[in-house]
Structure 1
Amino acid sequence: MSGAALEVLRAGALTTVQDLGRPGYAHLGVPRSGALDTGAHGLANRLLGNPPEAAALETTLDGVGLRALTPVTVAVTGAPCAVRVSGRAVAWGAPVRLRAGAELEVGRAESGVRSYVAVRGGFAVPPVLGSRSTDLLSGLGPAVLSAGTKLPVGPPGPDPVSGADALRVPGAPTELVLPLRLGPRADWFEPASLAALWRAQFRVSSESNRIGLRTEAGAPLIRSRGGELPSEGMVLGAVQVPPDGLPVVFLADHPVTGGYPVVGVVPPGPPLNAAAQARPGVGVRFVRG
C-alpha cells in the first residue's frame, strides 16, 4: 500500500471496482467477472502507466463523485462524460492530477453506459481469488460502492508512455452488430428460424445488466424440439435462448452453467465491449461470425 486513497462522495447508480476478472475458476462455480468494456478499462490504465490488470472503477450511466485524500493522478475513459475537479472542467481521456482534498466529479454519460475511472497505482482493495473485481452474481469481491467508502491506492509504477491511443476508442454504438458463431445447440432450433436470425432486428432491453445483455422486440427463435437440457457450462459471449425465444448475450458476471440452449457464441473483443456501452432501445443484429 502507498498510503494514497480516495473517498466516495457520490456512489452513482452502480459503481463497482473491476479489473480483468478471475478466469479459471468456473469449475468451482465462480464467474469470470471483470470490466465489461475491456478496451476502455485498458486505455484508462495505459494513460496512467498502470499494468493492464490494475483495478479501476466502472460506473453506470450517472458517474461517480470522489475526494482525493492524498495527491493522486486519475483518468476517465469509456462512456464520454463531463469531468470536473472541484467545479473546474478538466480533460476526459487524459491524466488529471488531483491535490489532496480535491473533489473529482465524473458526470452522466453523454452516450454509452459505462465510464472507467483509473488511478495511478490502481485501486488496492483486497483481492479475492486473485482479482479485485466486484461480482454481482456471486457476491465475491468488494461491495458495490457507497458514499463514505475509502478506496486505497497502490504504489505508482513507471511513468506512462505519452501518446496513448485515446482516439482509437470507438464511440457508443447506435446499432449493435454482433458476430455469432453458431453452436453448440443451434440444432435445437428450426432451420427457418435460424435463417431468419440473420435478418432479425432486436433491441437492447432495459433489463440488461452485467450478467447479460437481454434483447426484445425481434422475431423469437423457434425450437425444433421440446424438453430441457441438463445444465452445461457457459462461456463469456454465449447467446442463450430462454423460453420466450429472445436471445440473451452473456457478459462478464454470467453464471458458469445454464440449462437453456446456446444458439451460438459472440467472440470476446470489440463486439462485447460495444455491448457493454449499448443503451436500452439500441438496435441489435447478429451476423455470421
Structure 2
Amino acid sequence: MRAGLEIVDTGPLATVQDLGRPGYADVGVSTSGAADRASFRLANRLAGNEEGLAAVEITFGGFTARALHDTTVAITGAPCPITVDERSGAMNSVLRLPAGAVLRLGTPHTGLRTYLAAHGGFDVEPVLGSRSTDLLSGLGPPPLRRNDVLPVGRTAGLWSPVGIAPVAPPPADELTVRITPGPRADFFTEDALRTLVSEPYAVTSESNRIGIRLSGKVLSRTRCEEMPSEGIVLGSLQVPPSGQPTLFLADHPVTGGYPVIGVVLSTDVDRAAQARPGMVIHFAMN
C-alpha cells in the first residue's frame, strides 16, 4: 500500500493547500493557496520538503488521522495540543508517525489555522497546476472528509531536516497589521482614513478563507455612485455600503464592485489569517 494518511476526523474544516495557482485571474480564477503562507512554508521546511508541496490546512483543530505507513510530519501555525497515539508531540518540530499511529490535533490555544506537512508532500490530483482547495471557485480537491486517504508523494535524494523551529505563537486578543492606501481611497472622507488607522475593528463570525468581515466604526464615503467591477488583490480592504470593511484572504474574488480603501501588506496578511472571531485588528499606515 502506498504511504498516506487516513482521515479519521476533520474538525470544522480541513483542506489541502499549496502556494496556489497564480496566473489565471484573467479567466476569473484567484491564486488561492495557504491562508498563512509563512506557517505553510515552515511546515514544509521542517518536513524536509520544497516549500510549495501540498500540506493540510486545519481550521480550529479537531483533526485526527491514521498513518498507513511510517510517515514523517511537521505541524505549524496555530499552536494546538498534539498527540501521537498516547504520546504528546511538539509544534514546529519533526514528528515520526509509525505505521498505524493515530495523530490528533486539539483546539488551538491562539490563532485559527494549523498546517500539517508530510515528508514527500500530499500527492492529490492537481487542477490548473495546483493542489489547493479554492472554496470560492470550487477548484481543486474538495474539503477533506472522514475516511479520505491522502497519499504521500515519493521522496528522492538526501534529506536534511531542520528539526525544530522556535516560533512565537499568534497573538490572542489584538493584532496590528500594516496597510497602504488603496486605489479608491479618494472615495472616502479624510475622517474615514483617520478612523481606519485609529479605531479597533473586531473580527466577526462571518469570516472564512475568502475574507474577514470586520465590525467597527463606519468608514464614510464622499462618493456614493456605483462603480464598475475592478481587480481585487490579496489583502484588499473593500468597503460595502454598510461602511464595515472586509479584508480579503486567499480565496478572494478576482474582481469587486465596492471601493478599496487600503491594502494590507503581503507579509501581514499571513498574520491576519490567524485572527479568530472576536479578535481585534488595528490598522497602521505603512
Shift, 1:170, TM fit? 4.5
- 2:162 is matched with which residue? 162
> Which of 215, 230, 233 does residue 231 from structure 2 map onto?
233
Q: 1:9 to 1:163 in 2, by over 3 A?
A: closer
For 1:110 and 1:211, the matched residues in 2 are separated by 23
Question: SS at 2:266's partner residue?
Answer: coil
The aligned residue for residue 99 of structure 1 is 98
Question: Is 1:286 matched up with 2:276?
Answer: no
Task: State the Cα deviation string for residues 42-75 of structure 1 (Å, max 9, x = none).
Answer: 1111111100101110001123100111111111
Distance in structure 1 (CA, Å) of the matches to 2:77 and 2:160 = 19
The one of 274, 277, 285 aligned to 1:277: 274
Look up the match of 1:153. 152
Structure 1 segments unaligned to the other structure (5+ residues): none
In 1, Cα distance between equivalents of 2:179 and 2:172: 17
Alpha-carbon distance between aligned partners in 1 of 2:172 and 2:24, rounded to the nearest angstrom: 32
Deviation at 1:254, TM superposition (A): 0.1
Amino acid of the residue matched to residue 198 of structure 1? V
Distance 1:36 1:162 in 2: 23
- Whether contact under 8 Å (2:32, 2:132) holds in the other structure is yes
Q: Is the 8 A contact 1:19 1:55 kept in 2?
A: yes
1:63–1:109 contact (8 Å) kept in structure 2: no
| Residue aligning to 1:75 | 74
How many correspondences in the alignment? Answer: 285
Residue 3 of structure 1 deviates from its aligned partner by 2.1
Once residues 109 and 257 of structure 2 are traced to their aligned partners in structure 1, the CA distance between those partners, rounded to angstroms, is 38
TM-score by length of 1: 0.95
Structure 1 segment 240-251 matched on structure 2, within 5 A: 240-251=238-249
Letter in 1 for 2:230: E
The one-letter amino acid of 2:94's match is P
Match of 1:7, SS state, is: strand
1:42-61, aligned counterparts within 5 Å?
Answer: 42-61=41-60
Task: Give the alignment of 1:1-289 within 5 angstroms.
Answer: 3-157=2-156, 158-162=158-162, 166-216=165-215, 218-269=216-267, 271-289=268-286
What's the RMSD between the two structures over aligned residues? 1.4
Alignment partners' CA distance in 2, 1:93 and 1:170: 11
Between the aligned partners of 2:162 and 2:130, the Cα distance in structure 1 is: 28
Q: Which amino acid aligns with 1:159?
A: W
Return the letter of the residue paired with 1:139. G
1:193 deviation in Å? 2.1
> TM-score w.r.t. structure 2 length?
0.96
Equivalents in 2 of 1:36, 1:173: separation in Å? Answer: 18
Cα deviation, 1:220-272, whole Å, max 9, x if unaligned, reads 11110122110111000111001111111110000000000001111211x11
Question: How far off its partner does 1:5 sit?
Answer: 1.1
What secondary structure does 1:44 align onto?
A: helix
CA distance in 2 between counterparts of 1:96 and 1:155 reads 18
Q: Which runs of 5+ in 2 are unaligned?
A: none
Q: Structure 1, residues 59-95: CA drift from partner, whole Å, max 9, x if none? A: 0112310011111111111111111111221222211
Q: Equivalents in 2 of 1:275, 1:87: separation in Å? A: 33
* Whole-angstrom CA distance in 1 between matches of 2:250 and 2:168: 20
CA deviation after TM superposition for structure 1 residue 173, in Å: 4.8
SS in 2 for 1:42: helix
8 Å CA contact 2:48, 2:162 repeated in 1: no
* Seq. identity, %: 52
Are the equivalent residues in 2 in contact too, given 1:123–1:151 (CA < 8 A)?
Answer: yes
The worse-fitting range, judged by mean Cα deviation, of 255-264 and 193-202 is 193-202
Structure 1 residue matching 2:13: 3-state secondary structure:
coil
1:168 offset after TM fit, Å?
3.6
Verify the 8 A CA contact 2:79 2:114 in the aligned structure 1.
Answer: yes
